[in-house]
Amino acid sequence: MTSARSVQTAIGLRLLPWLVLVATLSVTWIVWDHERQSARYALHAQFDFALKETVSRIEQRAAAYEQMLRGVQGVLATTDLNNQASIHRYVDALQLDANFAGVKVIGIVQRVPMQDKAAHTAAMRKAGLPTYAIYPESTGPLYAPIVQREPSFGNTGAPLGLDVWQDPVRRVALEAARDSGMAAISGKLRLAIDRQADALPGFVMYLPVFASDLPHDSVAQRRANLIGWVYAAFHVNDFMASLYGKQSPGLSMAIYDGVDTNESTLLYRTADGVGGPASRRTVALSASEYMVVAGHSWTLSLASLPEFGARTGQDATNVTAVAGAALSFALAVLVWLMVNGRTRALRLAAAMTEELREMAQHDPLTGLPNRALFSDRLNQELARAKRESTRFAVIFLDLDEFKPVNDNFGHAIGDQLLQQVALRLQSAIRAVDTVGRIGGDEFVILVAGLSGKDFVLTLTEKINQSLRQVFVVDGHEMHISASLGFAVYPEDGGDELTLTRCADDAMYRVKSRGQAGINRANSAPS
């Protein structure tokens, strides 16, 4: 249960950095998404505001021009339609400077019923226009010739007398102004003053002029009592250039006549306008607004270019994403370091403990069990032997002529020799046996579970033979031998102390003879 819990804890700790990463990245995503939505709403709001503002600027400008035209209309309320001098003086007094750059012409159109045509022509000729005629020819029954244009100089276009009633585009606006009593603008047209082939798109704004002493409160009265129109003609480009305020940067715009948007109805397009050559550029937002300017519909198409979005917090969104992701990873790494720092400390402590245990139980030079571990193994074997009524042996082994090796070649070589001796002893015994080092050149061997009668003797002779083989240490050939004494349980002793003392005695008895050999406890030296 405890183990299972600790495994779960370990898994939990290992997953913790990932959980932190997922959690913080999720929070980052939520914040980023919120920022993105906010930026998008802000972008939409700003775009909508820009659209509304553009419409408003156009409407206000049209209203300003209409107001200007009302001044002319006002003059005609106090004088005759053919009082050209008075109208000339009034328009001159308007001082149409750059603020009114959109106006190309201010003029008067007279309503001439068919029956008045001849008299009208005669009057105009008499007034100083000897070649005046209403054109193009038509059968009436109504004519609407232009009878005056201001400013009068510089106008090289169609001569006076042009019957605008014959032009269907102008006629719609003339009728609308007449019936409503208000300003009306025409659809897209070519201005009469334009002589060049590729004239800019234009439009005309008309205001009706009624006989000042007759009522004009109903459509019927207005139709009956109309005497003419005052008009202002515009190039759309100039009209747009004269707008007040500044267009928001990063927006492109196009204006179409009516609600159908195609090249034939195009009135105006900014240099990077919608649908133009720049339309291949990425357009983030686009919208059309169907404006009503002096009773006439225009479609304003507005599109935002990438630089428009860059001004509305898109950068903040990116910063949020990058900073959030970086912080998420940093936090995950920090947690990983904290979690793994503890694990690594535990692992290090365990390794050190193991090392200490190893050092406490093994000989550091040969890696063989030391006296303590050997004693422990011997006691275990003793208990087993007693329990299972088996036999085992303890062999004491002391190298002969080892001291001269140290003296002649140094301790480093002596140590290497001891390491080779340890290897030969380990290879001589069985896996169940234990060989240990208990002193400078003293080794002990625990031979577990004796089977045959002479097994120990055979083993000791095998060891002896192995050690008599030449050793090569650091290029030096060396010959050594060993003195061995052994004791067998239970014959030679029933406890550790007795057995080791007996084996030690037996080994010393061999040693005391001054030559290598093997001896068993309680027996004569062999």
Binding site for other proteins (CB under 8 A): 41, 44, 51-52, 55-56, 59, 63, 66, 70, 176, 179-183, 217-219, 258-260, 285, 287-293, 295, 297, 299
Pairing relationship of beta strands 442-447 and 471-473 according to DSSP bridges: unpaired
> Which amino acid appears at position 151 of this protein?
P
- Residue 209 in 3-state DSSP? strand
Q: Which two tokens stand for residue 159?
A: 């001569």
Nearer to other proteins, 18 or 244 (CB): 244
Nearer to other proteins among residue 66 and residue 504 (C-beta) = 66
Q: How far is the CB of 66 from other proteins (least distance, A)?
A: 7
User: Closer CB to other proteins, residue 65 or residue 489?
Assistant: 65
For strand 442-447 and strand 434-437, is the pairing parallel, antiparallel, or unpaired? Answer: antiparallel
173 and 184 in contact (C-beta within 8 Å)? yes
Least spacing, CB of residue 218 vs other proteins, in Å: 8
Residue 343, Cβ neighbours under 10 Å: how many? 12
Of 251 and 335, the one with the shorter C-beta distance to other proteins is 251
Which among 53, 113, 34 has a CA at the least distance from the CA of 247?
A: 53
Please report how close the Cβ of residue 326 comes to other proteins at its closest, in angstroms: 32
Q: In whole angstroms, how close is the CB of 114 to other proteins at the nearest point?
A: 26
For the chain, the farthest-separated pair of C-alpha atoms sits apart, in whole angstroms, at 172
Pair 160, 148: CB distance under 8 Å: yes
Nearer to other proteins by Cβ, of 66 and 441: the residue is 66
Closest distance of CB 254 from other proteins, Å: 15
In the complex with other proteins, the residue whose CB is nearer, 12 or 168, is 168
Nearer to other proteins, 8 or 56 (CB): 56
At 333, give phi and psi (nearest 5°).
-65, -40
Alpha-carbon gap, residue 486 to 395, rounded angstroms: 4
Neighbours of 57 (CB within 10 A): 16
Q: DSSP states of 224-265 as a string? A: HHEEEEEEEEEEHHHHHHT-SS-PPTTEEEEEEESS--SGGG
Would you say 129 or 211 has its CB closer to other proteins? 211
CB-CB neighbours of 304 under 10 Å: 25
**Shortest distance in whole angstroms from residue 41 CB to other proteins:** 8
How many other CB atoms are found less than 10 A from the CB of residue 336?
Answer: 17
What's the min distance (Å) between Cβ of 289 and other proteins? 5
What minimum distance in Å lies between the beta carbon of 217 and other proteins? 8
